[in-house]
Every structure is written in C-alpha cells, then in structure tokens.
Amino acid sequence: MPFIMTRINVGDFDAWKPSFDKDIPRAREAAAGYRLFRSLQDPSEVFVQIEFASPDDAQIARDRLRSSGVLERFADKNGPTVVEEVETVRR
C-alpha cells in the first residue's frame, strides 16, 4: 500500500486545519484515507499520512501537491514523499 508522507510546521494548527480540509490541490481526491499526527512537544509540527490504492495514484497526488505551491508557505517542511509500507508490528 503506497502512502504520501509529509511533515510541516503549520504554526497555528487550528488556523491551518480548515485550509487542509479544503484540499485545494486535490491531493486526497483518490486517497483511500489519511491520518494526521501532531508532535506532543510542539503542537505546530504536523505529520500527514495519505493512503492510496496504487503507486500511480500516490504519485499523481504528490505531483498535484507540489505543483499547487501550497507547501511553499511553510519554511519548515519535509516531503511530500511517496513511500510504501514494509512492515507493521502491533502488540
């Protein structure tokens, strides 16, 4: 299962979230789902994981996200990176 992983420092999470929900770049249009994570030490540090059915869908979404320019307003960011899950261990 492919994913897009992105880490960004959004500043004010509550102000950023409505913009994320709009999905203007349509990065989540073909997504199977997504997860948001926040750092406990710095609540403005957000990790986004978007799941896709195919690598092609993930790559298209990544390209849309990058070409939209929405991430350019964040100086502190990593990704978007297309990754695949190689192992899950639950206890």
- Which CATH code is given to the segment(s) 2-79? 3.30.70.100
Query: Domain residue spans in the chain?
Result: 2-79
Contact 71, 19 (CB under 8 A): no
d(CA 22, CA 56): 23
User: Predicted confidence band at 33 (pLDDT cuts at 50, 70, 90)?
Assistant: very high
d(CA 5, CA 21): 17
User: Predicted confidence band at 36 (pLDDT cuts at 50, 70, 90)?
Assistant: very high
Provide the whole-model pTM: 0.91
Residue 1 has pLDDT above 90, yes or no: no
Helix or strand holding residue 2 (H, E) = strand 2-9
**Can you read off the two tokens belonging to residue 44?**
């403005």
